[in-house]
Amino acid sequence: MGLLNKLLGEFVDIIEWVDTTHDTIVWKFPRYQDEIKMGAKLTVRESQVAIFMNEGIIADVYQPGMYTLSTENMPLLSTLRGWKYGFNSPFKVDVFFVSTRQFTDQRWGTKNPVMVRDAEFGPVRLRAFGSYAFRVSDARQFLKEVAATQPEFKVEDINDQLRNIAVSRGMDAIASSGLGILDLTANYDDVSETILHRIQPDFTELGLSLTKFLIENISLPPEVEAIMDKRTGMGIVGNLGAFAQFQAANAMEKAAENPGGGLAGAGLGLGMGAGMMGQVGDIFRNNQAGATPPPVPDATPSYYFAVNGNRQGPYDMNTLRNMIQNGTVTRDTLAWKQGMDNWAAAGTLTDLSPLFSTVPPPLPPQ
């Protein structure tokens, strides 16, 4: 059996990987004693990269295409082997195919609540989860830093590490975003974009590229959400008096429908509901009435004046002060305001007489 495998291995001269999985990142091409024939055909499909490794050292990297292996298109391997001239004998080399397609719908989420400080609610515990997508951007770097010489390397072999990076960097970004808890939901796209850029350097170190990062939900502890629901409900209710009347009306209807009470029960329910509705409505009306004080009345009186046989005004006290100062209104000018029975001299009125005390007397005759 060993001889047959050896013969088949020497005569099989096509190197390729037909990937039928959805989660394989690296796959090592199996050959008998890792022998490759010079002149063999290498097929690298789209979304693949082929890497030749000689004695643990990465040599040549092949992008998508078909190659006939020779010393001309294996420059690094030829250097490592010391092939100065043509070489036609089989040689040993490890061939690794690396998938460069996107691996989508990778899940991330917080295992335990993360404490953050919110400007409105103070310290709160948050949970978050979502999805991300990645691909191999540098096959040489990924093989050297992560996959090494494993014959097969799948997404699950690195997913925990990537998920931990996503959660750690993601929650740091959420905490430092400055957004309130209630504003995060409306800004998932912006926060996701910020997290993507923050995580990218960690992925680059591994030869990976983070192509998508999505936040699907950020949630508070159940007890905090219950309080917020009550708060929201109070805001929706709005007029508490009207709400109380509505509730009382419902209670009245339920009481009247009680089959055990008959007509008497219906009447009793009607009376109790009406009384309850009236009392509760009065309470809330009184509370609302007492909670909002009436407008402050205007305490400044306004006066009309008889000037040259014509009524002028009304004028407020500030205007009157100027009119008295410039002599437009004198002590003998007839004045009237609301509440007075008849016109009276301005100097005899209690509101106006103090204003005349600041007016100097007439100048003596020359």
pLDDT in tens, 17-62: 999 999 999 999 987 665 788 888 999 999 999 999 888 888 899 9
Q: Which residue would you say has higher pLDDT here, 362 or 186?
A: 186
Residue 89 backbone dihedrals phi, psi, to 5 degrees: -80, 155
Mean pLDDT of 336-341: 86
Q: What's the pLDDT score for residue 152? A: 94
Q: What's the pLDDT score for residue 297? A: 54
Residue 234: pLDDT band with limits 50, 70, 90? low
pLDDT at 264 over 60: no
Domain 103-223, architecture per CATH: 2-Layer Sandwich (3.30)
Rounded Cα distance between 99 and 20, Å, is: 12
Locus of tokens 């910020």? 194
131 and 107 Cβ atoms separated by less than 8 Å: yes
CA atoms within 13 A on the CB side of 271: 5
Mean pLDDT of 321-336: 85
98 and 136 Cβ atoms separated by less than 8 Å: yes
pLDDT at 201 over 70: yes
| List of residues 6+ apart from 148 with CB closer than 8 A | none
The pLDDT tens digits of the residues spanning 105-148 come to 999 998 888 887 777 777 888 888 999 999 999 999 999 999 88
Most confident of 32-41, 47-56, 224-233, 260-269: 47-56
Q: What's the pLDDT score for residue 245? A: 67
Rounded Cα distance between 86 and 78, Å, is: 10
The one-letter amino acid at 214? L
Q: What's the pLDDT score for residue 121? A: 73
Neighbours of 286 (CB within 10 A): 11
The rounded mean pLDDT for the chain is 79
SS (H, E, C) 336-363: ECCCCCCCEEHHHCCCCHHHHCCCCCCC
| List of residues 6+ apart from 139 with CB closer than 8 A | 49, 51, 61, 98, 100, 207
Which percentage of the chain shows pLDDT scores above 70?
72
Residue 200: pLDDT band with limits 50, 70, 90? very high
pLDDT at 69 over 90: no
Q: What's the pLDDT score for residue 110? A: 86
Note the pTM of the prediction, 2 decimals: 0.57
Q: What's the pLDDT score for residue 13? A: 78
Q: Where are the domains of the chain?
A: 2-99, 103-223, 239-290, 303-356
Residue 260: pLDDT band with limits 50, 70, 90? low
Q: What's the pLDDT score for residue 164? A: 92
Q: What's the pLDDT score for residue 79? A: 76
Q: Which residue would you say has higher pLDDT here, 248 or 5?
A: 248
Residue 176: pLDDT band with limits 50, 70, 90? confident
336 and 307 Cβ atoms separated by less than 8 Å: no
Rounded Cα distance between 98 and 58, Å, is: 13
Q: What's the pLDDT score for residue 190? A: 86
